[in-house]
Amino acid sequence: MSGKVWFVTGSSRGFGRELVRAALTSGDCVAATARRPEQLADLVDAHGDRVLPLPLDVTDSAAAGASIAAARDRFGRIDVVVNNAGYANVAPIETGDDADFRAQFETNFWGVYHVSKAAIPVLREQGGGVIVQFSSMGGRVGGSAGIASYQAAKFAIDGFSRVLQSETRPFGIKVLVVEPSGFATDWAGSSMSSADIPDRYADTVGAMSAVRSSAAVSAGDPARAAEILVRIVGRTDLPYHLPLGVNAVEGSIRHDESLLAEDRKWAAVGRSADFAEPYPVDFPAEVQ
């Protein structure tokens, strides 16, 4: 078996399905997981033993471990682990349902945690591999009214993955955080529900409903994105962050430049908090 072995969560549709298809087309093998693996039957028919459909609810840590073990038993190794499963529902923080907020976080963050943790021993013992974490443009830029749980989880994925990278780099494990903008998947379609939005949030959270039907949400081609990822994971100089889509790239650059400018503006004030630094210092001129 000369190709790579992939383990992909959320394989039944969207990015996950396109990534499974792209990996198989390139000659690789895939352990494709989904809550309903029967939805992968057409891929099994087309690619036979090179695809292993597995049931997986990523919020179940034991199930994550069992799926990783099943993939290794079937293919002998795992080269690329992709944490793709996730969804978002729309609601204001003030009036949103607590249980729904937690449920989203269970999938969007804890699912990544469970699968990543289960994969580490396999990748470590075999001398390396790649863990691909699907975040979002919102996990870098943030601030999209109405999807606080989703974006909080994506920010948490970044923090978690930075530590994961530091801890596992000596084992030959690489980490790639993918940050897409809008793509033509079902993320903003039937996968997303919207709670009742009070009038006071019509211009903020309510605007998310308009965004769901905008061209920006479907600007990206998930098949192209999948092909890019299949090509990129083989590089020795793998990036840590990968914005995907025009809005993600341009928005991330604007955001990072803004942060850098603000850091420099307040640098002297921040430094002055240490004992060895001059104090007090002048604050920057206040902008009215």
Name the catalytic one among 11, 116, 154, 201: 154
Name the catalytic one among 67, 116, 135, 149: 135
Name the catalytic one among 150, 161, 174, 252: 150
Write a three-state SS string for 101-131.
Answer: HHHHHHHHHHHHHHHHHHHHHHHHHHCCEEE
Measured CA angle at 7 (ends 108, 1), to 5 deg: 170
Return the structure tokens found at 134: 């699907």
Q: Is 174 part of the annotated catalytic residue set?
A: no
User: How would DSSP label each residue in 235-287?
Assistant: -SS--SEEEESHHHHHHHHHHHHHHHHHHHHTHHHHHTTSTTS--S-PPPPPP
Q: Are 57 and 265 in contact (CB under 8 A)?
A: no
Q: Is 117 part of the annotated catalytic residue set?
A: no
Active-site positions?
A: 135, 150, 154
